[in-house]
Chains A and B, each alone.
Chain A
Amino acid sequence: MTIIPAVISTVIFFGSLILIFSEKIHRTITAIAGAALMVVLGQILGFYSEEAALKAIDFNTLGLLLGMMILVAMLEPTGFFQYLAVLAARSSKGNPKRLFLLLGIITTILSMFLDNVTTVVLIAPVTILICEIVGISVLPFLVSEALLSNTGGVATLIGDPPNVLIGSAAGLSFNDFLIYSMPIVLVSWAGALFLLQYLFKKELSKKPRSIKAIMRLNPAETLNEPLIAHRILIVLGGAILFFFFHNALHVSPSLVALGAAAIALVWVQPDLQEVLKHIEWGVLIFFGALFVMVGGLEHAGVMESIVGLLKRASDVPPVLFGVGLIWVVAVLSAVVDNVPITIALIPVIKGLGESGMDIAPLWWALAFGAGFGGSGTMIGSTANIIVTTLSEKTRTPITAKLWNKRGLPVMLVTCAIASILYAVVFRWM
């Protein structure tokens, strides 16, 4: 490794991370600027090139995210998510504890198959509606929806962007996640749910003021376009079925998602401009730019030296190494977006693998840490930021203090449960 490229690429990457953390500039703008700087300086100093930068982009991840975004963008205007929430509200009969449980479960299941951000964006507004007309505080619900979707998303390959990245880099299939990740996530999730019920005990035992109002909500009326909802759900169901077999069929998850998006587009023929408007281009560009930046770090030899340093710690028992990784990644993900952390750690773990370490368990440690760590702070995950921003436009804003009392314990408990189970099943991973 030559020292100048290493220092320059490290400064660019960590400078970008700090800017992303400070939230002074939009994270996508920071990432684009950082990526451009990395390529330009890389060309000048000879450690990086345009071709290498393009190769560094994981198009499998981008394709999977884009495909799922198209499906959700088409499903969103049909009112399907309101429909689910209204069903939950009615069957809770206005009992806040039951409503809490039902909305929590719906959010979790949705977050397993859709991006967490999408899940929260779609479920939070109708949650505000239900809580307001029933006359109970919406805070426990909003905070829990973000935390439970952070937690639940870790269970599947497509539930969480870090999982998409890890799955693509490590060649893990949809079923691998169901076998290795889901059981541990389910136990951690149950822990999170119990903890949240306990922490919000006071708010949830308040008597609702108007139960009649939610019984007058008619779920059927919430569906604006039942036929379209029907078609997209069939396609989405088919895609999920294909995810189970994608490995056996030798098809990448991104092809499944993009194929499903194509079928839905042909079948429904929506206003394409409207669909494209709802795609989160900023997120996709953010990912692409981060790949380019981390590619620069790799080419400058920084990852190799980190791997070298970690190798010295190889006399640590592998289980402890894995559990340590969960916590280090979790703490990092609580303060910075978990996507750059994951993208940066993937080559490190690959490097450890090349040097002879058994890295299969480390991928899961990375997934648990990145997924659960985000719950720790108000800015730890995009889902947290979304419910907070939304609540700031209501009469009861979520504060950082509230998050420290509710979110941080959830992060600690889910990471602790995951660590214990991880250690128990380690030798089968």
Chain B
Amino acid sequence: MNVTVCMKRNVVSVREKTTIREATSIFVKKHIGLLPVVDDDDKPVGVIGMRDMLTLELPDFVTFLADVDFVHDFGAVEDIHPSAKTLNKTVKSLMKPAITVKEDCGLLRAYSLLVQHNQHDMPVVSKEGKLVGITSRVDIGAAILSTWLKADK
């Protein structure tokens, strides 16, 4: 079995010049975890994850302290949101290199790549490198687990 059995074909993607503000509203409306960034040929040039978006909100101290368990009240940082200037930047400033797989990639390989790169979602591309779908740990995991049930019969 390859990733096509468990990927979503209806993928939302953006271009490099899309602003972070526009990306924000896509994340909210579509309730997604990963937004592929594609070029004019629909080939992925990068991705923005929910995690990358949220780093804009994360207080600085979280990066520096080994443990924040003792901080019960985040106080003044609770109501600080990214400035208009930040939201006007393009997604290019925030995106990460895309970890993609081809359509014929096996389930276990796809899952291993997600684990190794510490990702939750992954774009799937055609032989020509065009974006054709997106798959996630849950999608791949469920597909793998379903093979257990078949083998158990």
Contacts and interface: CB of A to CB of B under 8 A. Distances in A.
Interface of A: 77, 79, 82, 86, 124-126, 128-129, 132-135, 138, 208-210, 212-214, 216-218, 221-222, 224, 390, 393-395
A80 to B, nearest CB: 13
A218 B72 CA distance: 9
A125 B61 contact: yes
Contacts of A218: 70, 72
A218 B73 CA distance: 11
B65 interface: yes
B40 interface: no
Interface stretch (B19-27, B74-82, B109-117, B139-147): B74-82
Contacts of B67: 79, 224
Interface string B47-71: 0000000000001110111111111
A222 B70 contact: yes
Given A128-B61, A128-B64, A129-B65, A134 B76 contact: yes
Contact of A221 (B65, B69, B74): B69
Most A CB contacts (10 A, CB to CB) among B66, B70, B72, B75 go to B75
A132 B73 contact: no
Nearest to A218: B70
A210 B60 contact: no
B76 A133 contact: yes
A133 B75 contact: yes
A213 B61 contact: no
A217 B76 contact: no
B60 A216 contact: no
A393 B60 contact: yes
Contact of B65 (A126, A216, A217, A395): A126
Contacts of A213: 73-76
A221 B69 CA distance: 8
A209 B60 contact: no
Given A86-B70, A128-B61, A208-B76, 4 more contacts: A82-B65, A129-B64, A129-B71, A222-B70
B75 to A, nearest CB: 3
Contacts of A132: 59-61, 75-77
Contacts of A133: 59, 61, 71, 73-77
Contacts of A208: 76
Nearest to B74: A133
Contacts of B71: 129, 133, 217
Contacts, number: 71
A210 B59 CA distance: 15
Q: Which 3 A-B pairs have the closest CB atoms?
A: A213-B75, A135-B76, A210-B75
Contacts of B60: 128, 132, 138, 393-395
Most B CB contacts (10 A, CB to CB) among A124, A125, A132, A210 go to A132
Contacts of A395: 60
Contacts of B74: 133, 213
Main secondary structure, interface of B, reads loop
Contacts of A209: 75-76
Contacts of B59: 129, 132-133
A214 B75 contact: yes
Contacts of B63: 393
Nearest to A396: B60
B71 to A, nearest CB: 7
B67 to A, nearest CB: 7
B65 A125 contact: yes
A135 B70 CA distance: 18
Contacts of B68: 129
Nearest to A94: B75
Contact of A210 (B70, B72, B76): B76
Contacts of A79: 67
A221 B71 CA distance: 9
A129 B61 contact: yes
A6 B59 CA distance: 55
Given A133-B76, A210-B75, A212-B75, A217 B70 contact: yes
Nearest to A395: B60
B61 A216 contact: no
B126 to A, nearest CB: 39
A135 B75 contact: yes
A79 B66 CA distance: 10
A209 B78 CA distance: 11
A281 to B, nearest CB: 21
A224 B68 CA distance: 11
A65 to B, nearest CB: 24
B120 to A, nearest CB: 25
23 contacts: A79-B67, A82-B65, A82-B70, A124-B64, A126-B61, A126-B65, A128-B61, A129-B64, A129-B65, A129-B68, A132-B59, A135-B75, A208-B76, A209-B75, A210-B75, A213-B75, A217-B70, A217-B73, A221-B70, A222-B70, A393-B63, A393-B64, A395-B60
A172 B66 CA distance: 39
A218 B69 CA distance: 10
A377 B135 CA distance: 52
A271 B134 CA distance: 44
Interface string B127-142: 0000000000000000
A162 B142 CA distance: 63
Contacts of B65: 82, 125-126, 129
